[in-house]
Amino acid sequence: MTPERILVVNAGSSSLKLRVLDATDTVVAGADLPPPRGPEDRPAVAAAVTGLGSLDAVGHRIVHGGTAFLGPVRLDERVIARIASLTSLAPLHQPKALDALEAVTAAVPDLPAVASFDTAFHAGMPEAAATYALPAPWRQRWDLRRYGFHGLSHAYATRRAGDLLGVPVTDLRLVTCHLGAGASLAAVAAGRSVDTTMGFTPLEGLVMATRSGSVDPGLVLWLADHVGMPPAELAATLEHRSGLLGLAGTADMREILARADAGDARARLALEVYLHRLRREIAAMTASLGGLDAIVFTGGVGERSAPVRAMAADGLGYLGIRIDPSRNADAAAGDREIGEAGAPVRALVVESREDVQIAADVRSVLESATA
């Protein structure tokens, strides 16, 4: 079957986003609700879903697929139980997705439903990129590896880059930059992720809005041992009080840019740390690719902050990345190329459309089931 109207369900920390996409991937209906927290919220979800009109299928964004789910999968009781068993790998995100899944399923129990996983795009990374240098018994017993996240965004950015460049993705080496409250890069060769900046958790990698990004694990052990900081306090601080917020006192990149321009030392340091890590990791991704054909900016900051894009590229000219100021500043142009004409590496801005990627996953799973 090829579903015509697909309900995409994206459960976040503060909202449940419902979007209906038609066969052309146009959003034709939608609703934003508080995230459901149990059976008592199901009537509100049911009312919202009913108000969206006729539906043919449902696609759910699930953050973590572990080693069990390497691609999208049709949901049934066995699959849902396996997803629930992975909660310890994503304790902040998996329960919200499961609550939303249960609420929407209760509202439309007869619709076919598919789960799309943020980790799946990175599941085929080479072992050298996915493996931590830890004892084999640890890695095998607890599935300790680099999973990567934001895979739905990276996958869509990859497909869209091929469209914009008029080149098959199988012929491209891309660095996709998902820069938002959470941020990660992916090295994409021939349409497949071969490296990424996030790891076992979304804390690894770039400096983010409130997440620290990579820190020396010895620093964390020192705080636990010498300061007596409890694991829960360490986790809360690294996840919610660090990153740009910890450096500048705000997680808003727009405010940081304005304050840095006005000479604020904390904001300037925050911006410099953010850009230093961003440039360093972009260069690292090119090493994993053995070269670079195009760089793609997506996510809230990646799409909307021309200064961040320009400053990131300013330190990467040796790779062939050169941004055209007028193209970069044209925020009304939508998905577009922003690099200088003739630059060795093309540069693009792409709107993050996880909903389109999820809808594509739904069609793929359901069509293959009836082929």
- Which element (helix H / strand E) includes 187? strand 183-189
CB 59 within 8 A of CB 114: yes
Known catalytic residue at 225: no
Residue 265 tokens, joined: 């030392």
Q: Which residue, among 357, 257, 349, has the nearest Cα to 303 in the 3D structure?
A: 349
CA distances from 241 to 44, 181, 182 (A): 33, 13, 13
Q: How far is CA 148 from the centre of its chain?
A: 9
Angstrom distance (rounded) from CA 328 to CA 98: 39
Residue matched to tokens 């072992």: 127
The DSSP call for residue 316 is: -
Residue in 41, 56, 99, 118 annotated catalytic: 118
- Is the separation of the CB atoms in 58 and 6 below 8 Å? yes
d(CA 268, CA 260): 5
* CB-neighbour burial class of residue 77 (10 A; exposed 0-12, middle 13-18, buried 19+): exposed
**Element counts in the chain: helices (H) and strands (E):** 15, 12
Q: What six digits make up the tokens of 121?
A: 């795009």
Specify whether the CB–CB gap between 320 and 345 falls below 8 A: yes
Cα–Cα distance, 146 to 200 (Å, whole number)? 5
Using CA atoms, how far residue 235 sits from 226, 230, 239, 241, in Å, is 17, 9, 6, 10
Would you name the residues annotated as active-site residues? 118
